[in-house]
Amino acid sequence: MNILFLTVGNAETFEEYGVEARGVYTDVLRKLRSEGHSVYVCYPGERRYGAKTQLRESNGVVLLRVKTGNLTKSGLIEKGISTLTIEQRYRDAIRKYFRDIKFDIVLYSTPPITFVNVIRYVKNRDNAFCYLLLKDIFPQNAVDLNMLSENGIKGLIYRFFRTKEKALYEVSDKIGCMSEANRSYLIDKNPELDAGKIEVSPNSTDITEEEPETKHADNGVITFLYGGNLGRPQSIPFLVECLKSRMDHEDERYLIIGSGTEERVLDSFIERYRPSNIEHIKELPRKEYEERVSSCDAGLIFLDSRFTIPNFPSRLLSYLQAGLPVITCTDDVTDIGRIAEKEGFGFSSSSSDTASFGEAVERLKKADRAEMGRAARRYLKENCSVQKTYDLIISAYKRSKQ
């Protein structure tokens, strides 16, 4: 089959590595390729890099870089205009470069929600099956963080994007949600949708066969890792408060790897207090990052307490892959903490209470971390394999043709 993947992310990855780099989407694309399908990818080439629309092939995958405006590292207005014009640019590029290709399946994720017209174009042209990998519920997440509101001027923007969101769900033949809480939320907030088109399709990865070594705290010191974005959704000021409450615990070490719009909050804290047990590394190559993960004893996940939408951060996968126990510090609606507790690979806490985080840390220090690590790998294999994602997509496609 011919399968088209639309994305606005991972542009640098596709430029340098094609689909060979590890990632939530590239792992799935490699699986599709290995099963004999023809894979085509549309990704953005931002104006700041002088990128032009270009078609090329990389290790059996066809890559179409589409010239766009600046989508990252730009002001709100510029980013907004670029986001709104991207679907026209993608549609024009597909019409020009893929005019002789009949696509069987179109895959895409959120963000963004502004691919409706290009998806509808390919669907109508080729009678393609459209599968949405729902990773983000926008614009409600922006409302939760007070970036948008349902009233006033911001309310106009909210309603515009809410209409786009509903149209995206409507044009999709199948919607894969990251967790059961995610699925239930979508059904509850969009009663016009056929619940039968919404299924649980967890974040997945290409699981390594080699089992990680049993972790032993180095000299009695447990190293906790937070790896990922340092932005508003992750509630970095609260993360800092949690770190501040633990900086005098000599048997604990905290390694933060990542960058983002809120990293200055973390760096200001470290510069002011100079804690001996906390280190921030802004960026690491993927391979080196995975090596760091494997050397740590536990993983951390933080989400803003104001969220009313269930999130399921993909950084969990690298923790599970390395067999790390996990501490989740999240809002009340996200089910990642409840799953971690139920499956035995982690402890949950509230992202509105530093004492709750401290209690989870103490629980983990006393727990059988080796057994929790084995539970982490067990959960990964049973729920988060790229094979499962592949089976869900292909099964949904086959059912649609019956």
Q: Judge if 392 and 331 occupy the same domain.
A: no
Pick 73 or 45 by higher pLDDT. Answer: 45
Q: How far apart are CA 91 and CA 268, in angstroms?
A: 44
Q: Judge if 201 and 232 occupy the same domain.
A: no
Pick 360 or 114 by higher pLDDT. Answer: 360
pLDDT at 216: 62
pTM: 0.91
Task: Please answer whether residues 19 and 37 qualify as being in contact, where contact means their C-beta atoms are separated by less than 8 angstroms.
Answer: no
Domain CATH for 57: 3.40.50.2000
Range of the domain at 158: 2-205+385-400
- pLDDT of 211 > 80? The answer is no
Q: Answer whether residue 212 is part of any domain.
A: no
Confidence category of residue 377, pLDDT binned at 50, 70, 90: very high
pLDDT at 362: 96
Q: Judge if 110 and 36 occupy the same domain.
A: yes
Q: Judge if 151 and 12 occupy the same domain.
A: yes
Amino acid of residue 399? R
- pLDDT of 214 > 70? The answer is no
pLDDT at 402: 80
| Chain segment 286-312, per-residue pLDDT in tens | 889 989 999 999 999 999 999 999 999
pLDDT at 9: 80
pLDDT at 86: 87
pLDDT at 234: 93
pLDDT at 305: 93
What whole-number percentage of the chain has pLDDT above 70? Answer: 98
Pick 256 or 78 by higher pLDDT. Answer: 256
Q: Answer whether residue 213 is part of any domain.
A: no
